[in-house]
Structure formats: C-alpha cells, structure tokens
A and B are shown apart, each in its own frame.
Chain A
Amino acid sequence: MTVAAVNAGPKRGWKSASTWIGAVIVGTAAICAVFAPLLVPHDPFAQDLGKRLLVPFWMEGTDPRHLLGTDQLGRDYLSRLIWGCRISMLIGVTVTIVSGLIGITIGVLGGFMGGRVDDAVLFAITTRLSIPVVLVALAVVGLLGSSLPLLVITLGLLLWDRFAVVARSTTMQVRNLDFVAAAWCAGCSHFRILSREVLPNIASHLVVVATLEIALAILLEAALSFLGLGVPPPLPSWGLMIAEAKDYMFFSPWVIVIPGVALFVLVLGINLLGDGLRDLFGARSDP
C-alpha cells in the first residue's frame, strides 16, 4: 500500500457504511433462515391453483394476503422466498464448514511441514483448480440423484481451494515467528503448536475466506438448482424458483426478478461484510 493510501484512505472496518449495510443484510438473512417457520405468512408448500401467478404489492390487482404474489402453482411467493433464504444460508454455511475443514487442514499441514508434504499440497490445489466445478457438481448430483446432504458434500469437496491457499501462505508466515519457536523450546507437540499457536493467529484470515466461500456456495447452489440438478423440488431454493418461473418471465417478469434480487442482495451483503472484516483484521484474502 502506498503512503497516500494510508493517509487519505476511505473509512474502513466498522467505520464504513458498507460494512454496516453488509452486516444488516446478513443479519436479516440469518434471522429469516433461523426463524423461517415462524415468519412465513403462508405454508410455502401449499398449492392453490385458483390463485396462480397473483401479482406483487406494487402492481395493480394485487391480493393483500400475498404481498409478493404467488407462483405458477399458487404458492405464496413471500413464504417461499423466506424459506429459500433458509435453504441458501443452510447450504452456504454447511458447505463452508466442510470445505473449511478440508482446506484448512491441507493448507496448514503444507505450510507448516514444508518439503514433500507441501509439494503434495500444492499439487492437490493445482489439480483441484483444473477441475470444472459446475460440471462435476452437476454430474455427481445427476448420477446420484439430488438431495441436500449430497449437494453439501459435493460442493464442500470442490470449494476448499481458497481455504487451502490462504491457510498455507499464512501458516508459512507464522511458522517462523518467535512465539512458535518458543513453543518448540517448551517441548510442545506438533498438534499443540498447530492448534494453540498457529491456528489462532491465522484465524482472522480464514474468517474472511469463509465469508467469500459462503457467498460462492450460495451462488453455485442457485446455479445448480436453476439447471435442475441442485436442491430437489418442491423445496423453495431461489435458483429453483427462478428455473420454475422461467416459462412465465416474458409475461410476468417479477416472477424471476424477486428471487433474483434476493439472491443478489444476500451475496452482495455477505461480500460487503467480508470486505469490512478484511479491513478490520488487516487481512488479505487473495491467494
């Protein structure tokens, strides 16, 4: 960073409005996700063919009981949107836990052990990057049948690369610091040094990566569900909602605008919060 950037930089971390906007969006989404069964005004799975494609509140001829209208099967759109938030957040967080466990283990081992182990880790990262994620995820779900746990495991096995890259490079920096040497001298075991000395010191970088990965997993799940090989219907994933509404989009564009805006805003919020956290920790998340 140049001197000018330090002196005249924009507001960072919690002083920045964008971090707060991100936090509010993510907080709202988290509340929607956790309390979805209490928040939904209608059953998101209940069909009512007499009330198909009712328009949302800003258009003429709307039904006040269905604020965001209904879908092609007469299901309340607001309820499905809230339930879809639960699905998105659930997938984003669980995929990130799986990929984080894999990536951090691999990355820390490579960065700490060095030598042959590190060569193997680098090779694993290179190989993983050469695999087309969307295609492989589609193939797995297509061949084994769509289900939530399968989707989470598949994406988790595919999205660990950034965790590994960042964990590896930050571990390398920490490895040679004095407090690690002190722990060696005090006779600590490998495991203790890794868990007590190294991990806490690279944790802030990993939190930033985690926010990016949650956003990425949510976008990928939406894309897979959109292609019909993600979350199984009738679960209201936002991607699936867009796919199901696609046939009606030329006459009633709002059917794809609503879930799309929700997806866009949530991912934007997570990224804003992630950027804020990065500035707050002074961490780098780019490989």
Chain B
Amino acid sequence: MFQFLLRRLIVALLVAATVMVLAFVLTRLSGDLATSIAGANATAADIEAIRKAYGLDRPVITQFFDWVGRAVTGDLGESYFFKARVASLIGERMPVTLTLGLTGLVIALVVSLPLGILAAVRENTGLDRFVQMVALLGQAMPSFWLGLLLMITFGLQLGWLPISGTGSWQNYVMPGVVLAFSAIPALTRLTRAGMIQAMGSDYIRTARAKGLSRASILLKHALRNAAIPVVAIAAVQLGFMLGGSIVIEQVFALHGVGFLAWESIAKNDFPVVQAVVLVLAVIYVALTMLADLMNAVLDPRLRSA
C-alpha cells in the first residue's frame, strides 16, 4: 500500500513539473510579452520600462526558475490587468467553479447510476436501447448550445430560473445540468457495463441461491463491484468538468476560474493564464490520485498494483 502511494505521488509530481514547463512555454509563444502588455500606442521607452518592471529583461531560464520557486510556495505572481495577486484572484473565483463542478458531478451521478443499473437489469430490452440512445444523444450535444437553449426555455419563456449571475443556488441549476450532460454518457455506459459484468458473475449466483432479496443483490453485491470503475471515472470527470467549465461559465456569466482565464487570455494577462493552467492541472492530478486511493479502499485487490 505504501509503495503504491509513493509511486503514484512521484508520477504526480513529475506530471506537475512537466505542466509547469508547458504552461510557461505556452505563455511565451506570442513572442515579446512586454510589447503586447504595453499595447499598440506604446513608445519604445514605455516597452523598455515595462520589460524592466516585470523582470522580462532577464534570461528566460531565470524567469522560469523564479516563477517555479515562487509557485511552489503558493505565490503565483501578480496580474498585470487586475493589479492583484494571482493566487488571491484564483482563490476568490475558485468557489464558483468548484460549486459548479460539484453540482454537475452530483447531477451526473444521480442521473447515470440509476439509468446504468436499469439498462443493465433490463439488458437488450427497449429500455436498455433507450438508455443507450440517451447516452449517445448526450455525447453529441454541444454544451454551450444546450446552455443557450435552456436559457431561452427556462430563463426567458418560462421564467423559472435566472439566466446569469451567481446570487443564489438557482444560478447553478442550468449550468450544472449542462455540465452534467458532458459526463452522463460515459458514467451511464460504465455503470451499465460494470453491472452487466457483475450480474453474470459467480458471487451473484451464490447470493441468488442464498435467497437474498433482489434489491440486496443489486445494490449490495453487484453495485459495489460495478462502482469501482465508476468512482474512478467520476473523479476524473470532475477534473475534466473543472477544465471544461470555462465554456459554461462564459455562457451563464458565472465569474469563476474559467471566466477569469478567458478574461486574462483576452487581455494578454499571462501570469494569470499560466497560473490557471497549472492550478487546473494540479487539481486534475490530485483527483486522479484520489480516484486511485478510493479504488484501493473499495477493492483491496488493487492495492498491490
């Protein structure tokens, strides 16, 4: 168990280090940062002053290690546009994105677990095909478009839900549903496949032979085994959702981390851009590790892997 943890941790740290290099290189793609920060009307002297002030006159390698050295202590630099610490900017916006991501994940699980179980129990019936069709439709749905359609229907025509802002829980209903749509197909298919496999196994036959109730067989015996891959994918999906929420935050004007990143890209505010890329990647890495851990707890067989 300890070795298993240690190996995962080393890989996670290496991934984080690689992402730091990539995020740093990414923001330097545009060439001379000082020129783009200064804007179109800047004089050569202005650009030179900016270059000095932000330390962009130093060698790139020095800049990189300076950024890394500060980042590991939690100092992600200062935003050029917002005139604030990047870490506190991200900290302020993170609750919105996390709330959105978790809402999406909960909705996705609430929909896909029962659907997957139902489809598995009624395998190859009309119901099963219907569930698979729903998964297929969900996969093809462009999230931003679904968001706009919901806004027109439930926001404007029915007037049930607010179409933008972050004032109350109601603001998270539509974005949460839209975000959930991206995870429902994968989670449903996985639950279905896991349940079908579990239901065909020997221990289920034993449980049936013992005369256990149908509910007990399904939920206690089959689901517990089918849940192992679902738990792993659910944690990974949450990571994807946080990264993908940039589109949905934009549609619903939710001022989360994705919105912040979008604003910063538009404003050439590269310390924020590279910090958001890094933070989202680290969260993803942490979530996949958490998924591995939860798997190890749920299934002792995996601990030696």
Which residues of A line the B interface, CB within 8 A? 2-5, 8-10, 123, 126-127, 129-136, 138-140, 142-144, 215, 219, 222-223, 226-227, 229, 239, 242, 246, 249-250, 253, 256-257, 260, 263-265, 267-268, 271-272, 275
A-B pair count, CB < 8 Å, reads: 140
Main secondary structure of the interface of B (DSSP, over half): helix
Q: Given that A123-B15, A134-B247 are contacting pairs, would A139 and B140 also be in contact in the complex, using a CB cutoff of 8 Å? A: no
Q: Is B156 an interface residue (CB 8 A)?
A: yes
Q: Which of A4, A129, A133, A136 contacts B123 (CB 8 A)?
A: A4
Bound complex: CA A208 to CA B244 (Å): 24
Q: Is B49 an interface residue (CB 8 A)?
A: no
Q: Given that A130-B281, A139-B277 are contacting pairs, would A242 and B144 also be in contact in the complex, using a CB cutoff of 8 Å? A: yes
> Which residues of B in the span 263-300 have a Cβ within 8 Å of any Cβ on A?
265-266, 268, 270, 273, 276-277, 280-281, 284-285, 288
- Is there an interface contact between A249 and B152, defined as CB atoms closer than 8 Å? yes
- Interface range on chain B (Cβ under 8 Å from partner): 35 or more
Which residue of B has the minimal Cβ distance to A2?
Answer: B200
- Is there an interface contact between B277 and A136, defined as CB atoms closer than 8 Å? yes
Bound complex: CA A123 to CA B30 (Å): 28
For residue B140, give the distance in angstroms from its CB to the closest CB of chain A. 4
Main secondary structure of the interface of A (DSSP, over half): helix
Which residues of B line the A interface, CB within 8 A? 11, 14-15, 18-19, 22, 26-27, 29-30, 36, 123-124, 129, 136-137, 139-145, 148-149, 152, 156, 196-197, 199-200, 239, 242-244, 246-247, 250, 258, 261-262, 265-266, 268, 270, 273, 276-277, 280-281, 284-285, 288
A-B contact pairs, 20 of them (CB 8 A): A2-B123, A3-B200, A5-B196, A8-B124, A129-B288, A130-B284, A131-B277, A132-B242, A132-B246, A134-B243, A135-B277, A138-B265, A139-B261, A140-B26, A143-B26, A143-B27, A144-B30, A256-B152, A264-B140, A267-B140
- Please indicate the chain B residues that have their CB under 8 angstroms from the CB of A275 in the complex: 136
Bound complex: CA A271 to CA B19 (Å): 31
- Is there an interface contact between B141 and A264, defined as CB atoms closer than 8 Å? yes
Q: Which of B29, B139, B196, B268 has the most chain A CB within a 10 Å cutoff?
A: B139
- Please indicate the chain A residues that have their CB under 8 angstroms from the CB of B270 in the complex: 143
Bound complex: CA A219 to CA B26 (Å): 23
- Is there an interface contact between A256 and B148, defined as CB atoms closer than 8 Å? yes
- Please indicate the chain A residues that have their CB under 8 angstroms from the CB of B242 in the complex: 132
- Is there an interface contact between B268 and A260, defined as CB atoms closer than 8 Å? no
- Is there an interface contact between A132 and B277, defined as CB atoms closer than 8 Å? yes
- Please indicate the chain B residues that have their CB under 8 angstroms from the CB of A226 in the complex: 144, 247
- Is there an interface contact between A264 and B142, defined as CB atoms closer than 8 Å? yes
- Please indicate the chain B residues that have their CB under 8 angstroms from the CB of A265 in the complex: 140
- Please indicate the chain B residues that have their CB under 8 angstroms from the CB of A267 in the complex: 139-140, 142
- Is there an interface contact between B142 and A135, defined as CB atoms closer than 8 Å? no
